Amino acid sequence: MTAHGWGLDVPNEIVHELAAATSVGAVGHVGPDGDALGSILGLTLAARAAGKQAYATFGEPFTLTENFDYLDRSTLVAPGEFPEGLDVVVACDTAARSRLGSVADRAETAKRLIVVDHHRSNGGFGDLEWIDPEAAATAQMIFHLLRRLEWPIDRPAATALYTGIITDTGRFQYSSTTPEVHHIAAELLAAGVRQDLVAEKLFEEAPFGYYRVVSNVMGRAVLEAEIGLVWSVLYHADLEEAGIRYEDTDGLIDLVRIAREAGVACLLKERDSGLIKGSLRSRGRIDVAAIAAIFGGGGHHNAAGFTFAGTVDEAMAKVRAALS
Ligand code: 5GP
Ligand code: MN
């Protein structure tokens, strides 16, 4: 086992701050994915089981897809109810302060703000930081942290952490899936995770309206083979027509990126705010975090995102320019 030897690399100061805290908060990035949500719930459920006051939240819009309904959200509070002045708040899976959205100010009222994240682009925005780009998921780091703290990881907490790991590893398929990741998954299963139910809820279920959205988005996909790019757009009208929510469209990029001819995939999603949310995926040769950075976004080498105030044509011109 490498430096990731069962939590040996967890900074001692972070362990000590959390052990000494009476009240613990955890905040994730806006539009939380399985890793952000699993990390803040895993940490706070374990904190509560260890006798702490514990609160989790994420910035507005404070909505979640029903796919996450199986998670124990009893520590989750709306951003407006997240207490000020907590002993410790941990920002999980959040690459930059701005990604906290509307909870950034409140999170900073904590006596200690700790950043735990696996995004290489994270420049740090807390009093203490633990940033490990080698980690497959922030939830993997939270697991190590909890083991060091000796806080109980019961079935609800284990289910939350498992959710972070299974989503950020693409169901254990990405190169980040080390033997250690499987060891942790085994421990979480031993703690009672029903992985069959988790997988069914996460990956085998969508509202019927999603079929129409998939049809529209896949139908308008464009292949630009000369630059190895495949891309498409999700319009706000697609969601209205299908009667589904933006939160239900996280899996679309996994369909758009399938084209064999493309090394990079891009999905632009029109938000009702008029802004465009871009998702980028790479097969490995091209660093899409660098492309996202051109827009002020970020992420990982193979998966990154950004928000853009402009048109679809303008956004695609920038992506094309970066690729050629
Ligand atoms: P997704 O495309 O699934 O929304 O995000 C892919 C990856 O890029 C995730 O690791 C996510 O945290 C990151 N990401 C997505 N949008 C942004 C953004 O606007 N800014 C930054 N810094 N990272 C983002
Ligand atoms: Mn993550």
Q: Is the CB of 95 under 6 A from ligand 1?
A: yes
Ligand 2 centroid to Cα of residue 42, in Å, is 14
Task: Give the Cβ contact number of residue 85 at 10 Å.
Answer: 11
CA dist 5 and 11 (Å) reads 13
What pLDDT score does 174 carry?
95
Å from CA of 21 to ligand 1 middle: 31
Task: Pull the structure tokens for residue 22.
Answer: 């009476």
| Model pLDDT, residue 274 | 86
Burial class (CB in 10 A: 0-12, 13-18, 19+), 243: exposed
Q: Using a 6 Å cutoff on CB, does residue 112 contact ligand 1?
A: no
Euclidean distance between CA atoms 70 and 196, whole angstroms: 12
Q: Whose CA is nearest to atom 6 of ligand 1?
A: 304
The number of the ligand 1 atom at minimal distance from the alpha carbon of 119 is 10
Q: Point out the ligand nearest to the CA of residue 120.
A: 1
Cβ-based neighbours of 49, under 8 Å, separated by 6 or more? 151, 152, 154, 157
The rounded Å distance from CA 200 to ligand 1 centre is: 24
**What is the mean pLDDT, run by run of 10 residues, along the chain of 324 residues?**
59 98 98 98 99 98 97 98 98 97 98 97 96 97 98 98 98 96 98 98 97 98 98 98 96 98 98 94 97 96 97 98 96
Give φ, ψ of 308 to 5 degrees.
-135, 130
Distance 137 CA to ligand 2 centre (A): 5
Nearest ligand atom owner, CA of 37? 2
Q: Which residue owns the Cα nearest ligand 1 atom 2?
A: 279
d(CA 303, CA 301): 6
Q: How far is CA 104 from CA 27, 29, 52, 80, 273, in A?
A: 9, 10, 22, 12, 20
pLDDT of 4 reads 47
Does the CA dihedral 286-289-290-296 come out positive or negative? Answer: positive
Which residues have CB atoms below 5 A from the ion given as ligand 2? 35, 93, 138, 168
Ligand at shortest distance from the CA of 167: 2
Assess contact for 305 and 279: CB atoms under 8 A: yes
- List b or e across 185-198, with b for residues whose CB sees 16 or more CB atoms inside 10 angstroms: bebbeebebeeeeb
The structure's pTM equals 0.96
Distance CA 288, CA 278 (A): 11
Is any ligand 1 atom within 6 A of the Cβ of residue 118? no
Q: Which domains does the chain have, with CATH numbers?
A: 12-203 (3.90.1640.10), 209-323 (3.10.310.30)
List the end-to-end C-alpha distance of the chain, in Å, as a whole number.
40
Greatest extent of the chain over all pairs of C-alpha atoms, in Å = 58
Nearest CA, atom 19, ligand 1: 306
Q: Please give the distance, rounded to the nearest whole angstrom, from the Cα atom of residue 138 to the centre of ligand 2.
A: 5
**Alpha-carbon distance values, 185 to 14, 27, 119, 125, 236 (Å):** 23, 23, 21, 30, 37
| Centre of ligand 2 from the C-alpha of residue 241, in Å | 31
Ligand 1 touching residue 288 (CB < 6 A): no
299 CA to centre of ligand 1 in angstroms: 5
